[in-house]
Structure 1
Amino acid sequence: MRITIDRLGHLGDGIALTDSGTIYASGLLPGEVAEGALQGDTLINTRIVTPSALRVKPPCSHAKTCGGCLMQHATDAFVAEWKESIIRGALAGQGLEAPFRPIATSPARSRRRATLTGRKTKGGALLGFHARASDLLLPVPNCQLLHPDLMATFPGLEALVRLGGSRTTELQLTVTRSLAGADVAVSGGKDLDSTLRLELARVTEAHGFARLTWGDETVALRASPVQRMGRALVTPPPGAFLQATAEGETALLQAVALAIGSARKITDLFAGCGTFALPLAERAEVHAVEGEAAMTAALDKAARQTEGLRRVTVETRDLFRRPLEPDEFKGVEAAVIDPPRAGAEAQVARLGAAKVPVIAMVSCNPVTFARDARSLCQAGYRLDWVQAIDQFRWSAHVELAARFVLTKA
């Protein structure tokens, strides 16, 4: 069967609108003509008859097999435009539109945090990512996504797999670049005993890991795996959320700072370990609210140990079950909100009722962002601008920052 791709879906699949219905085909671009076998509504075993001018040679040798990167076959300019279109489409679905600031895209080989899969083999260990839509585990020695410091941890991660893995189950190894070395958290490994603890500690020392966490237990700590947030140094709990790239974090912080302007009293909702709260505290009083106690403890400790910050207060609170109420925003000049993918429907409703003058919203899900944006606009806010932040280069994932301004009380 021969088809012509009309557009891309939000997951990166090519979409062809034919007389017999909608057909999907992975790895194709708008305008391309391709042939293949139709399996349900999907074209498989595709062969490109007419390639698009938007098509480029993938920079990574693993592009055709690895499931991590979907869009290496397209120009950067096209991917940026496509990701912005995903956000525009989500807003249009809620009857909204807004000006867009230029997209900020993280460079290649900049990912500072990744979760790899490992499995013990007869001859050693296999470490990498799964093939696309498959259980097949593939090594990725030439990955163009991960920071070189993460790539340098592979021998040590493989040693961990050989020690604590098995040939029948897989380990998940989350490795994060820190100022003191790699911060490694492993799940799915063998149960700890005295011998395994000793061997894991030796691997940590030999490969210069800052910290190794095995399941729920920190088995080795060579140095505190600190992250810089503004002038503050933060030690996140094992496996804690961290922005995917340093460049992406900088872009988000710049967008948030631009959004809130000269506000002197700020509430930071879903504050994590202080990505926004700590840098903003260099110029304003900040109340940071986060649901995970270990993260608020890390934020609070960093704030107390950093000189030159304005007053920082920290609150551990489940903002889904117990959102801040309007009267708790008394005197607040700006709010920052960075919810998880599900958005923050209940908290946004209270925030809209509180009539905080300016809101900076960060989101990793355009659909829930658009829903929450509509709620704020109905409460009297104007969506001033949106900026796409592409930390997940070559993927279908897109993040954003946005500014809301109160226009009517």
Structure 2
Amino acid sequence: MTKVRIDRLGLHGDGIAPGPVYVARTLPSEVVEGVIDQDRIAAPRILMPSADRVKAPCAQYARCGGCALQHARDDFVAEWKQGVVEQALRAQGIEARFRPVKTSPARSRRRVTFAGRRLKKGASIGFHTRASDTVVDVPDCRVIAPELAALREGLAGFVTVLGSRKAEVSFSATLSEAGVDLDIRGGKPLEPAMFPALTRLAHELDLARLSVEGDVQVTLRPPFQMFGTAQVIPPPGAFLQATREGEAALAQAVVDAVGHAKRVADLFSGCGTFALPLARQSEVHAVEGEAAMLEALDGGWRKAPGLARVTHEVRDLFRRPLLPDDLRMFDAVVIDPPRAGAEAQTAELAKARPPVIAAVSCNPITFARDAKTLVNAGYTLDWVQVVDQFRWSPHVELAARLSLAHIPN
């Protein structure tokens, strides 16, 4: 047995001791002991706990791989997540003013992926254990919305129809305003004989929509989401912010950043999370690589009264970023790229120099890299808003405002 003292948390939420030695579910200043296997202690014994340590609210926390920080006080987690962003910016030579962290409440996650495995008798539905493909039941998950938690046991019927003893079935469940939108992947190929059973199960679970591998099989009610005043029906499996509270916080930050801009470009727009709320006061041009998401955005905009004009463009912004001549017609730009960031598009923004940029990111490292490009081009990072909608996970999201020196906050 080896005794170590935890110095800090890594980006995945693991405690890091000198060596480095990685120790899951520990906190800075704690003294622990255990067997070091390569560079990790898998089963630590806490000898001196931190004052920030609390009892995890979930009975399955020790087994389930879904959460990583239930053992820490909420204010510690918020401070740590902001510190992750501060550290990433500091590494690029950037200091910033931070707005207070916005944390989504427990039991608010509106999208979840359950794993399902067929057993000799019945099925196992739940989440993977940490760093494993073993499925553990979590009957009282403290993260996901109650409507999604209640769905879990009913998914066993789909495993019986689509599952096999060799393959795992994945259930992506999204809570819409009309009920649960369920997309099933990884099962056996669909055959006509399966359709009656799938339809019956969709009715029994009162699903809004059922799709398999992205193809809609049953629609009982259109599974719409509200983006501002617009009702949008996303395609199966489309990206959606994890909680309503988190989406509202990010959308408000974007609206605050854009201010009174008359013409706004929304890059990586998805189904209109930001474009449609912005259209209450600004004309918006939405750019996204997936045509189906833009079709959903356009359908919602056309039916919503009182919105300004919203145009859209299907474009791969990684391979074909908007160029300065495209960008100079806009008073503000919103950019919300995937985790890889938007290095190529940011370089064009730096050349075009639109007055205001509202940046949304799920990766502090790539956000800081891209922010550095803009700062070098004359922008000021006015403020950063950390939004924690992946409660008890190490995942960090943020919104930020960048402006040219003469643009008021």
Structure 1 residue 7 corresponds to structure 2 residue 24: no
| Among candidates 375, 379, 400, match of residue 373 of structure 2 | 375
- Structure 2 counterpart SS, 1:45: coil
Q: TM-score, normalised by structure 1?
A: 0.97
Paired residue type of 1:66: C
Q: 1:39-188 residue pairs with structure 2 within 5 A?
A: 39-188=37-186
Structure 1 residue 351 corresponds to structure 2 residue 352: no
- Structure 2 counterpart SS, 1:10: coil
Q: 1:184-203 residue pairs with structure 2 within 5 A?
A: 184-203=182-201
Mapped to 1, the partners of 2:93 and 2:328 lie a distance apart of 31
Paired residue type of 1:365: N
Mapped to 1, the partners of 2:124 and 2:209 lie a distance apart of 22
Check whether the contact 2:163–2:187 (CA below 8 A) recurs between aligned residues. yes
Mapped to 2, the partners of 1:184 and 1:196 lie a distance apart of 17
Number of equivalent positions: 406
| Structure 1 residue 174, shift from structure 2 partner | 0.2
Check whether the contact 1:266–1:335 (CA below 8 A) recurs between aligned residues. yes
Check whether the contact 1:66–1:131 (CA below 8 A) recurs between aligned residues. yes
Check whether the contact 2:125–2:153 (CA below 8 A) recurs between aligned residues. no
Paired residue type of 2:390: F
Mapped to 2, the partners of 1:44 and 1:238 lie a distance apart of 38
Check whether the contact 2:208–2:219 (CA below 8 A) recurs between aligned residues. yes
Mapped to 2, the partners of 1:89 and 1:355 lie a distance apart of 26
| Structure 1 residue 217, shift from structure 2 partner | 2.1
Check whether the contact 2:54–2:72 (CA below 8 A) recurs between aligned residues. yes
Partner of 1:385: 383
Check whether the contact 2:215–2:236 (CA below 8 A) recurs between aligned residues. no
Paired residue type of 2:139: P
CA offset digits 1:159-201 (Å, max 9, x no partner): 2112211121101110000111100001111111111011101
| Structure 1 residue 254, shift from structure 2 partner | 0.8
Paired residue type of 2:379: Y
Mapped to 2, the partners of 1:198 and 1:155 lie a distance apart of 20
Paired residue type of 1:247: E
Partner of 2:282: 284
Bigger shift: 283-292 or 154-163? 154-163
Structure 1 residue 238 corresponds to structure 2 residue 259: no
| Structure 1 residue 264, shift from structure 2 partner | 1.4
Let me know the Cα RMSD of the aligned residues: 1.1
CA offset digits 1:10-55 (Å, max 9, x no partner): 11111112xxx32221111111111111222222331111111110
Identity of aligned residues (%): 55
Check whether the contact 2:380–2:403 (CA below 8 A) recurs between aligned residues. yes
| Structure 1 residue 237, shift from structure 2 partner | 0.3
Mapped to 1, the partners of 2:255 and 2:4 lie a distance apart of 47
Mapped to 1, the partners of 2:83 and 2:111 lie a distance apart of 27
Paired residue type of 2:223: P
Bigger shift: 147-156 or 221-230? 147-156
Paired residue type of 2:310: V
| Structure 1 residue 408, shift from structure 2 partner | 7.2
Mapped to 2, the partners of 1:222 and 1:216 lie a distance apart of 16
Mapped to 1, the partners of 2:226 and 2:382 lie a distance apart of 30
Partner of 2:210: 212
| Structure 1 residue 321, shift from structure 2 partner | 0.9
| Structure 1 residue 207, shift from structure 2 partner | 1.1
- Structure 2 counterpart SS, 1:152: helix
Q: TM-score, normalised by structure 2?
A: 0.97
